[in-house]
A and B are shown apart, each in its own frame.
Chain A
């Protein structure tokens, strides 16, 4: 049973909508989509296959739309808690621009279209993984974990970590240890990234009643866990080089990026909230985004060089 009961957002009595296409695009969480596109693309480039470029582009678009659809389903279900958090109050559903039913329908239709398109244009293993990702994010994370456990984003992070696995599967038809390593990097990165945010936005989550780690286990425990996860992230970052599907040069870059990640986390741990402006937490949150982008950009460059050289 959820700790936070869901309240229904009432449908507007006004039947005529003022929602623009931009509001529906916002339902797809474009910033999350851009990360999905990037990591899925890296998964495709690293995979030992040479797909038709246009089919690969269609597969990437299908993965992006599928991820966006799960975002729309999340915004439909979470409208009640989005309405009380400053960060999310202006989203299309809580602001009243898009009716909840419209967001639900939009998400379901795009889910079906994206999974069907990926299945027909790539293969049904990739399509099944995309369907699982949508289900995991919308049902397991949004409807269940988010409101019931402080491990919400730890387990839910699996949904955000799957795109490179789907990209790999779309061009090879398989799930391999290499794609699982890519999954692991994003999966282990998610907790320190979101807990850094939760530390300086804990008031928001408290108001909404979402059991984020700082609100449940306390700040000190959260800082300790961030440090542990950041060490695991740093180790997982160099695994592609240890597994020989990335070069030693990549391994060196990943080691430096990982060391910086641990250093930022150490600052969060050692300053321990004595800075009222929460600068270490904000710095870690900002760096975590740079880290993930840089790691996957390095993998992409490495993969492209290997392809051109080979």
Chain B
């Protein structure tokens, strides 16, 4: 079977790593923002619900 995969260059690999780190950090920041925002908006009672 012929090899049809594209082999990334060094620059492409480096750029991809850079983008992946940035996406990871942005997602982590978004999660923290939603968590803290929810606590402030709803207060500690958000954890105290009848089951």
Contacts and interface: CB of A to CB of B under 8 A. Distances in A.
Nearest to B8: A16
B15 A20 contact: yes
A10 to B, nearest CB: 19
A15 B18 contact: no
Contacts, number: 43
Contact of B41 (A16, A19, A24, A121): A121
A294 B2 CA distance: 65
**Contact count band on B:** 10 to 19
Contact of B16 (A17, A55, A120, A121): A17
A19 B11 CA distance: 10
B40 A55 contact: yes
Nearest to A62: B33
B51 to A, nearest CB: 25
17 contacts: A16-B8, A16-B9, A16-B12, A17-B19, A19-B15, A19-B19, A20-B15, A20-B19, A21-B18, A21-B22, A24-B22, A54-B37, A58-B36, A117-B33, A117-B37, A120-B41, A121-B41
Given A55-B37, A61-B33, 7 more contacts: A17-B15, A17-B19, A18-B11, A19-B19, A20-B19, A54-B40, A121-B41
B15 A18 contact: yes
A52 B18 CA distance: 35
A24 B22 CA distance: 10
A120 B18 contact: no
Interface in B1-51: 6, 8-9, 11-12, 15-16, 18-19, 21-22, 30, 33-34, 36-37, 40-41
Contact of A55 (B6, B9, B22, B41): B41
Majority SS at the chain A contact face: helix
Interface of B: 6, 8-9, 11-12, 15-16, 18-19, 21-22, 30, 33-34, 36-37, 40-41
B6 to A, nearest CB: 6
A21 B33 contact: no
Given A61-B33, A117-B33, A20 B41 contact: no
Given A16-B6, A18-B11, A24-B22, A58 B37 contact: yes
Nearest to B39: A54
A21 B16 contact: no
A117 B34 CA distance: 8
Closest 5 CB pairs of A and B: A21-B22, A16-B12, A18-B15, A121-B37, A20-B18
A52 B16 CA distance: 38
Interface in A118-135: 120-121
A48 to B, nearest CB: 21
A96 to B, nearest CB: 13
Contacts of B41: 55, 120-121
Contacts of B16: 16-17
A15 B9 CA distance: 12
Contacts of B37: 54-55, 58, 117, 120-121
A20 B18 CA distance: 6
Interface in A203-231: none
Contacts of B34: 117
A279 to B, nearest CB: 41
